[in-house]
Structure 1
Amino acid sequence: MSDQGKGVTALGYALLGQISIASRSGYALRMVFETTPMGSYSSSPGSIYPALKSLCAKGLARTVGQGRGGRYEITTAGAELLDRWLRQPVTAEEVARRLDLALLRFAFLMAHPDRGLTHAFLRSFETATAARAAELKAFLDTEPGAAMPLQARLAVEHGQRSLETSARWAADSLRRLTAEQGE
């Protein structure tokens, strides 16, 4: 990854995705995070504005206009970085550590001109979530897993079942998109 992509946070990718769809003011970006399911990202000015400043410093975004009419837009370098991020296959490690980031990529694929990327994403998401669920099941079947206190085992089982559900969701979503697109 280029130096420009180093240090881009989850919030940074969320902001790049939003301004790739349409240039927006900082306030409008804050409202996206405050009024949509993207609320897991902070809508605080103390989070949004430093993240935007960092994206601008890296050459991934720029400001257009000033004052109330000012807004942020993605640069060519930002669009290239976002494209590389969107094209990454989902891995079992990613679903173990940052499932939210994988799903954020899925959400931004709706605006990508290469519709095949959504299908590729769903296939890799299904594979990765199923693999991670199988890892958790295998762990529970080992001595350390079997020796865990019941409440801890139940927590791991929740993760396993959630990932199995995610794998089924991906397969179903791929079928539905394929049917809708007449493929």
Structure 2
Amino acid sequence: MRVVADILRQWGRRLAVPSVLAVLCAGCYNAAPPSDEWLMDNFRSHRADFDSIVAIVGSAADDDFVRYPPDTTSMYDPETGKDRPVLLRNEADSLFVAALGDERRARLDSLLHSIDCTGIVCYPPNEMTGIVCFSYGNMDGFTVQYVYRQNRPADMVFHDDRDLHEMWREYALDKANKPMPRKKLDDQWSIEYCP
């Protein structure tokens, strides 16, 4: 039985690299993100929850970029013979999670769940918080985020009359010459497709 497990483990590792490469090369054109209408309705229905998330993040964030929840991966544990989850934290993520504390972290997790979102990216020096609603792919992928900016630049361009996913398909081909797919929700909130 142990011999079979060893063989499966060896082949699993050998197949992992081609599998990862296949996923990375797959592209993002067949992704099915939430519709613009669903995103706008979700925001209107849960506006207080979105504002609460920004308040909690602002109370714990420092001057560094942070990602919540921190990225995880799995590592093989030779003692148990099983994979175990491992946090991939940088120092800023670790300080942010520690500053949150258990109670605010539980509240943040609950709020993210209630608005059907998966995580947060925060750039405090730019006063920007992104609440990730959908992610697809890796190198050619994108995320759909609700973005809060306390002081939004006056020259920021919005495309309220266009479908954001269709815009992304055009934008992904030549990011240098295309406008960022973005819709305005109010003076501080928007929906954005980000690379």
TM-score normalised to structure 2 length: 0.27
Structure with greater strand percent: 2
**Which of 1 and 2 has higher RCO (CA within 8 Å, sep 6+)?**
2
